[in-house]
A = this chain, B = another copy of it.
Amino acid sequence: MKKIDVQMVEDIATGAALLGTGGGGDPYVGKLMAIQALKKNGPVNLIDIDEVPDEALIVPAAMMGAPTVLVEKIPSGKEIFKAFDSLKSYLGDEIFAVLPIEAGGVNSMIPIAVAAEKKLPLIDADGMGRAFPELQMVTFHLYGVSATPMVLADEKGNSLLLNTINNFWTENIARNATVVMGGSVMVAIYPMRGKDLKKAGIRNIVTKSAKIGQSIREARKNGNDPIETLLNTIESYVLFKGKINDVIRRTTGGFVRGEAHIEGIDQYKGETMTINFQNENLIARRNGKVVATVPDLICTVDAHTATPITTEGLRYGQRICILGIPCDKKWRSEKGIATVGPRYFGYDIDYVPVEELIKNC
C-alpha cells in the first residue's frame, strides 16, 4: 500500500494540473488544502481499484464551478467535510474510501484532504483521466451511474442535497445553484459501489499524476529539459510552442469560456495556434487547422519549466508549449464521443485521435 505524503502531494498537484488540461483548479490553492490536512492527520493510504470490495460505498469529492472564482474565493476548507458528512448521513451507510472525480490542481487535492480528515483511503482512480467542465462528463455516466444523491456546500454554510432523474438535470440544477452560491462550491457526488467503480472508473490517475509531477521536478533538479522528460514519461506530443498574444475570457453561467491566441516561436516561428476553452482546453488549431480536440488532452505548460498553466493563468507574453495527450480509451467509444466530443461543445468538427491528427502536421 502506498502512502501519500507532502512530497507526493506536490508531485500529484503538478501532474494533475497538467492532466487537468487548463481546468480542475489552481494547484497552489489545492496543495494548501491537502498539505494542511496531511499535517494535521498524517499520510493518506492510496489503494488500487481492485482493493475496493464490490459492495463498499465510495464517494468522489470535488470543487464545482468556475476556477477563476476559486482563485479569489478561497474555500474555508470545512465545506467539503460538511458535504461529505451530509451525504454519508443521507445514505446511512459507511463510506469505505474517497476518490477524485477528475484530474486538476484543486480537484486532485480535495479528495486527499477528505481522506486525511476522515481517516479513509484514497482510491487510485477517477471518472475522467483528465478534467471536463460538466457533471455528466465522467466515465461513470457512460456506465449509467447516477450523480445523485449529491451534496453541494458553500463556504458560508449553505448546503443542498440533490436527487434527480438523470445526470443532465443534475448538471443543470447544480450549476445554477453554484452560480447563486457564489460561483464555486464543494461537492460530494456520484456515490457508488466498488463494483460500479471497477467497471466505470479510470485507473491509476493518482499514480500517473505523481509520476508526471516527479519527472518534471527531477528534470529541473538535474538540469534536464523538463518537457523532453515529460515526453518520455507519458505518451504525449508537442502540438506547438509560442508566445501568448491574446486571451479572451468570460466567466458566465458558472464557467469560464474563452480563447487563447499564440504566436509561434523557435521551429514554429511565423505560425499561429488558437485554443478554445470552457474551463478546460477544448480545441487546438494550428494555422487554422485542427490538431487536437476533446476528449484528447490539450495541455498548456511553461515552455522552459513545464509548469502546467490553467486557463485562468494564461497571460499575454507567456512562452508556452502545448502538448497533446491521448485520452482514456473509454472516451473513444461512441457514447464517450457523444458525451464529450467536439460536437457536444458546439463545434462542427469530427473527433479524430490526436496521434492521427499530429501525423498530418
> Is A333 in the interface zone, CB < 8 Å from B?
no
Q: Determine the distance from Cα of A164 to Cα of B172 in the docked complex, in whole angstroms.
A: 20
Q: Determine the distance from Cα of A153 to Cα of B116 in the docked complex, in whole angstroms.
A: 35
In contact, A165 and B158 (Cβ under 8 angstroms): yes
In contact, A163 and B165 (Cβ under 8 angstroms): no
Chain B residues closer than 8 Å to A180, beta-carbon distance: 172-173, 176
Q: Copies per complex? A: 2
| A177 interface neighbour in B156, B157, B159, B173, Cβ under 8 Å | B173
Chain B residues closer than 8 Å to A248, beta-carbon distance: none
* Cβ-closest chain B residue relative to A169: B158
Q: How far is the CB of A227 from chain B (nearest CB, A)?
A: 44
> Is A181 in the interface zone, CB < 8 Å from B?
yes
Chain B residues closer than 8 Å to A172, beta-carbon distance: 180
> Is A231 in the interface zone, CB < 8 Å from B?
no
Chain B residues closer than 8 Å to A165, beta-carbon distance: 156-158
> Is A160 in the interface zone, CB < 8 Å from B?
yes
How many chain A residues sit at the interface, stated as a range, is: 20 to 34
Q: How far is the CB of A153 from chain B (nearest CB, A)?
A: 9
Q: How far is the CB of A186 from chain B (nearest CB, A)?
A: 14
Chain B residues closer than 8 Å to A6, beta-carbon distance: none
> Is A69 in the interface zone, CB < 8 Å from B?
no
* Cβ-closest chain B residue relative to A153: B163
Chain B residues closer than 8 Å to A90, beta-carbon distance: 90
Q: How far is the CB of A314 from chain B (nearest CB, A)?
A: 30
Chain B residues closer than 8 Å to A157, beta-carbon distance: 164-165
Q: Determine the distance from Cα of A160 to Cα of B173 in the docked complex, in whole angstroms.
A: 9
| A160 interface neighbour in B86, B156, B160, Cβ under 8 Å | B160
Chain B residues closer than 8 Å to A173, beta-carbon distance: 158, 160, 177, 180-181
Contact residues of A with B, CB < 8 Å?
A: 86, 90, 156-165, 169, 172-173, 176-177, 179-181
Q: Could you pull out 20 A-B pairs where Cβ atoms are within 8 angstroms?
A: A86-B163, A90-B90, A156-B165, A157-B164, A157-B165, A158-B163, A158-B164, A158-B169, A158-B173, A159-B162, A159-B163, A159-B164, A160-B160, A160-B162, A160-B173, A161-B161, A173-B177, A173-B180, A173-B181, A176-B179
Which 4 A/B pairs are nearest by Cβ-Cβ distance?
A161-B161, A157-B165, A158-B164, A176-B180
Knowing that A157-B164, A160-B161, A161-B161 touch, tell me 11 more A-B residue pairs with CB under 8 angstroms.
A86-B163, A156-B165, A156-B169, A157-B165, A158-B165, A159-B162, A160-B160, A161-B162, A176-B177, A176-B180, A177-B177
